[in-house]
Amino acid sequence: MRPFLAIATAAALAACNSGADDSMDPTQPSIQEPADSADPAAGTRPADQPRLVTVEGRIGEGAECPLLTMPDGGRWSLSMEGSDFGPGDYVELTGERMDASICMAGEGTLLVRRIDPIDPPARDRDPARAGGLAVTSDYVRGSWVAKGLNADCDRPDFQIMQNRNGGSIIETSVNGVPTTGYVDVGESPAFQWDEGLPALPIETRGPDGLAVMPGDGRTVTLAGHRIAGDGVVFVRCA
């Protein structure tokens, strides 16, 4: 029985040594996941799924790159080599948001794909320049109707008149309720109300238009017109 036991023991040892040798075989390739294999564009702008952003504003100079300042005060750095546009131009553009850039200012950097000149809103223009009109007491006084095919000066949406103190007041309805407010024609022109209603900024539009813009807080209706987005344009009745 001893010879048989010795042979079996030797066979078992050989099998164990064979398995250990296979696991240490230097010819077998090691399997490793390449770094960032799931994101070949890591650290740069996306290669196959660009993040496009469309904005408008005025181009200005920045420390590292041109800056686009939007009407609401937001800013974007621009990568726009070879463009015919530059500081002072008011434009609408579509750009690809870059993940890495030397430009440090603003919300991020846009690689400009399309850019077009557009007319700036009145609030962006200097009243001393052609086409720009300041909001004054003389400008706002009168009867106004929302611009459109249904405009009816026999039933104006609001009236602005001078009060006994020389200021301007507005008579209209807000959220369906008859309301009287004060017209501020100072540095930040707006319709001011009592009873917790939000102030509504106003700006000139064109030679005879007055845009009423949404204020902070809840959205309201002015003479039945919902004041939201870029506002509602009213025109003066003759």
Amino acid 167: pLDDT: 93
Amino acid 78: pLDDT: 93
Query: What would the mean pLDDT of 116-144 be, rounded to a whole number?
Result: 73
* φ and ψ at residue 108, rounded to 5 degrees: 160, -170
Sequence-ordered alpha helix ranges (H) in the chain = 2-23, 137-140
Q: What average pLDDT is seen over the chain?
A: 78
Amino acid 124: pLDDT: 61
Amino acid 111: pLDDT: 92
Query: What would the mean pLDDT of 27-42 be, rounded to a whole number?
Result: 40
223 or 148, higher pLDDT: 223
Amino acid 48: pLDDT: 61
Beta bridge mates, 116: 92
Amino acid 106: pLDDT: 86
* Residues 58 and 129: beta-carbon distance below 8 Å: no
pLDDT band of 42, cuts 50, 70, 90: very low
pLDDT exceeds 60 at position 230: yes
pLDDT exceeds 70 at position 140: yes
* Residues 98 and 113: beta-carbon distance below 8 Å: no
Amino acid 204: pLDDT: 85
How far apart are alpha carbons 54 and 68 in whole angstroms?
12
pLDDT exceeds 70 at position 198: yes
Amino acid 84: pLDDT: 87
What H or E segment, with its residue span, contains residue 62?
A: none
Amino acid 5: pLDDT: 42
